Amino acid sequence: MKKAFLPLVVLVLVVSLVLAVVGPVSAAEIEGTKNVEPADPNQYAVGDTIHYVMTVKNPDSRDSMTITINDILPDGTTQILGTDVTIANGETKHYDLYYVVKEGDVQVVGGNRVVINTLSAAGVLNDGFETPVTVEVTKSSDIIDVPVGGEAFSVSKFGILAYCLIPALFLLMCIGLITEHRHSL
């Protein structure tokens, strides 16, 4: 009976020794950022072009990583920024993307009209174990209502009155001038 336990004891000792030398395998990290240029005011109208600036960084101090980088656009399509991209330890990759806002891209979130864009990167750490790495960063931009060919505006109650009253007064004045002109003939 004692001989039957000997292989099991040897196996436990070998596994313990390997884990002590190699250390625990944990998920690696990858960093990502997504911004718009210019950063302020981050408000756009349908038809405007948004300039997205994205970075993907390997903060690992030992190993490079091989990843695929995608940008999920507001219309739901995926723009592949790179496949099998190798990023050395401490290295940062930069990407620029320009996107024209379409009415169909606009979503209502919390009562606000917005477009949403997501940077996604996933792959493996080149550490001999192919430890998975992943990051996802989402950027939301406000959409404002702009009349065709015009600037953004908002109309207060006084503004509505002024927009209605001024043309009405002008119309009455023109009618009065026409009436006076007819009486003078």
DSSP letter (8 states) at residue 48: P
Distances (CA, A) of 103 to 5, 79, 112, 176: 71, 19, 14, 45
Please check the confidence at residue 8 and state whether its pLDDT lies above 90: no
pLDDT single digits (tens) 57-82: 999 777 899 999 999 999 999 999 99
Its pTM stands at 0.63
Quote the CATH superfamily of domain 26-143. Answer: Immunoglobulins (2.60.40.10)
Comparing CA positions, the residue from 108, 2, 97 lying closest to residue 55 is 97
pLDDT single digits (tens) 79-125: 999 999 999 999 999 999 999 999 999 999 998 999 999 999 999 99
Name the CA dihedral angle for 36, 98, 43, 71, rounded to a multiple of 10 degrees: -60
Highest mean pLDDT, choosing among 18-22, 58-62, 87-91, 177-181: 87-91
Contacts of 84 (CB under 8 A, 6+ apart): 66, 68
